Structure 1
Amino acid sequence: MAVRANGGPSGASGGADVERRCGLVDDDGRACPHPAQPAAPLPLCAGHLLLAHDWVEREVGTTDLLPGPCPACGSRVGVRYPSGWICAECEWRYGELPDRTLDDDPVEVVYYLRYRDQVKIGTSANPRRRVASLPHDEVLAFEQGGRLLERARHEQFAAFRGAGTEWFEVHEALLEHIAGLSAGVHDPWAQYSRWVSRRLARPSRD
């Protein structure tokens, strides 16, 4: 259908301030009589814009506060769909409980801790407990992996390693590696929580 302005056909001359009409046709075949919203990218009236918004919202979800903290990562932000909520941070389906525990399939990480002018490179399947037991000023980064990855990192930075320890001198090469791991990561613990929640949410191997 042609979009009409001020009752005239689209494109008709009649001054610079020509009011656009809504370009939709109702179910009864009649053109919508309401004016289009001036700032809308398509010639739609307020009512039809709201209908379009509600339809898109059902398809892509609406970001809002979760009914409670995410049980996996603790985030309060979620995306609401007609079928329920998911966590916006870790994509956990809110309200679902895992059919297994993390003990069945732990997330091993290699951790990088700074204490004064030294960096410790270690590994753990329970980094919260492990890190709490170690002297440190800052958790610099995590990367997913276990003993093999830890050994590879120890060999990679062996020139800066304290004899018989897992502590390394702060060096440009080590700092560049840590910077690569932490790029875009505001909180290493939040990153670890996402890894845990995704591990729990993935189907069991049984």
Structure 2
Amino acid sequence: MPDDGGGLCGRPVEDAPFALCPAHVALVAEWSDTASGVTDLLPSACRACGSRLGVRYPSGWVCAACEWPVGAILDDGLPPPRVDVVYYLRFRDRIKIGTTASPRRRLARIWHDELLAFERGDRLVEHRRHEQFTASRRDRSEWFTTTPDLEAHIGRLSAGVVDPWALYARWLGEAAALRG
């Protein structure tokens, strides 16, 4: 890398995969941050989805979950966006497949060990899943015996998803953005 005068830098490179001194590595990192943004805590919770994680660009912040620009005005006269989800809960050796438009409230009322996944969908999607896994259904309830097919389906839904709640937050933000 050239120095300020146009000649070679000449500073020592310390055990780096590139021939860059620490000062030039810092310049490259700073340039990268302006192009890619820096993930950090938002100054306040996202108004669209409630997430606290954001990405800071030179032009401003966006929510990392739903990409809503921080400071953008939501139409407060509208009700909160509605996103129906099919949820998959594990309790001991059973899995519950249910649906709701208010997952935090609904899941708080159901005894479970783990939230496995969310799938965007309403009662029709829930009914299709109940039919799909009918062979492992317990009586006529929404509880199913864990089977390789059911676990594979949940694995596909949760592939690349670290936290199902972050995915739900993104869907809420998308719904809010679509309605303006």
Q: Which bracket does the TM-score occupy, shorter chain normalised?
A: 0.7 to 0.9
Q: Kindly indicate whether the alpha-carbon contact (under 8 Å) linking 1:141 and 1:182 is maintained by their aligned counterparts in 2.
A: yes
Q: Which residue does 1:204 correspond to in 2?
A: 179
Please give the residue correspondences for 1:97-112 in structure 2 after superposition, counting only pairs within 5 Å: 97-99=73-75, 103=79, 105-112=81-88
Q: Kindly indicate whether the alpha-carbon contact (under 8 Å) linking 1:120 and 1:166 is maintained by their aligned counterparts in 2.
A: yes
Q: Which residue does 1:35 correspond to in 2?
A: 9
AA in 2 matched with 1:150: E
1:141 is paired with a residue whose SS is: strand
Aligned length, in residue pairs: 176
Give the greater-gyration-radius structure (CA).
Answer: 1
Alignment of 1:22 with 2:22, yes or no, is no
Identity %: 48
Q: Which residue does 1:82 correspond to in 2?
A: 58
Superposed displacement of residue 94, structure 1 = 1.4
Q: Kindly indicate whether the alpha-carbon contact (under 8 Å) linking 2:41 and 2:52 is maintained by their aligned counterparts in 1.
A: no
Consecutive unaligned residues of structure 2, counting only runs of 5 or more, are none
The alignment yields a C-alpha RMSD, in angstroms, of 3.2
Consecutive unaligned residues of structure 1, counting only runs of 5 or more, are 1-20, 25-30
Superposed displacement of residue 87, structure 1 = 2.2
Q: Tell me which moved more, 137-146 or 84-93.
A: 84-93
Q: Which residue does 2:71 correspond to in 1?
A: 95
The structure 1 segments of at least 4 consecutive aligned residues displaced by more than 6 Å after TM superposition are: none
Alignment of 1:171 with 2:147, yes or no, is yes
Superposed displacement of residue 163, structure 1 = 2.3
CA distance in 2, matches of 1:56, 1:135: 46
AA in 2 matched with 1:32: G
Please give the residue correspondences for 1:115-154 in structure 2 after superposition, counting only pairs within 5 Å: 115-154=91-130
Q: Tell me which moved more, 58-67 or 161-170.
A: 58-67
Superposed displacement of residue 66, structure 1 = 2.7
Superposed displacement of residue 197, structure 1 = 1.8
Superposed displacement of residue 199, structure 1 = 1.7
AA in 2 matched with 1:74: S
